Amino acid sequence: MPEHKVLQVIVDPERCQGHNRCKAIAPSLFELDELGHARVVGDGMVPPGLEDKARLAEANCPEFAIKVAQA
């Protein structure tokens, strides 16, 4: 099996303050609850081709609430 580097995004709900930068950048990876705080879509697995968007969301979150990790 060729090794796939699959990424997963994680939102720390303790840190998220609802700046909404993540969803603006990557609407297929993040969604907002009724107060405007973020959570990952589904299990947070990043589909191929969206790795850059995941990294950009991480780099733009003012609260450092997003982590991108190897799944």
Partner 1 sequence: MTDRPPVSDWAKDFDHLDPRWVTEPYQIWDELRRQCPVAHTERYNGVYFPSRYADIRAIAYDTEHFSSRRVVVREMPPRVPTDSAKPKSPPGASTLASPPITSDPPYHRPARMLLLPAFTPDAIGRLEAKTRAICGDLIDRFASNDRCDAATDYAQHVPVAVIAHMLGLPEGDGEKFRRWIHLLLHEGIAENASFAQALAEMDDYFRVQIASRRSVPGEDLITFLLGAQMEDQPLSDEHIIGTLRLLLIAGIDTTWSAIGSCLWHLAQHRDDRRRLVTEPALMPLAVEEFLRAYAPVTMARQVAKETTVGGCPFKEREMVLLSFPAANRDPEVFPQADRVLIDRAENRHAAFGLGIHRCIGSNLARMEITVALEEWLTRIPDFDLADPASVTWSHGPVRGPRKLPVVFR
Using the minimum distance from each CB to ligand SF4, give the nearer residue, 54 or 66: 66
Contact between 61 and partner 1 by CB under 8 A: the answer reads yes
How many CA atoms, within 13 angstroms, populate the side-chain half-sphere of residue 21?
18
Handedness of CA 1, 9, 33, 31 (dihedral sign): negative
Nearer of residues 54 and 65 to ligand SF4, judged by Cβ: 65
Where do we find the tokens 């997003």? Answer: 66
Interface pick for partner 1 out of 41, 50, 56, 67 (rule CB under 8 A): 56
55 secondary structure, DSSP code: H
- Residues 6-45, one symbol each (x = binds partner 1 by CB under 8 A, - = not), give -----------xxxxx-xx-------x-xxx---------
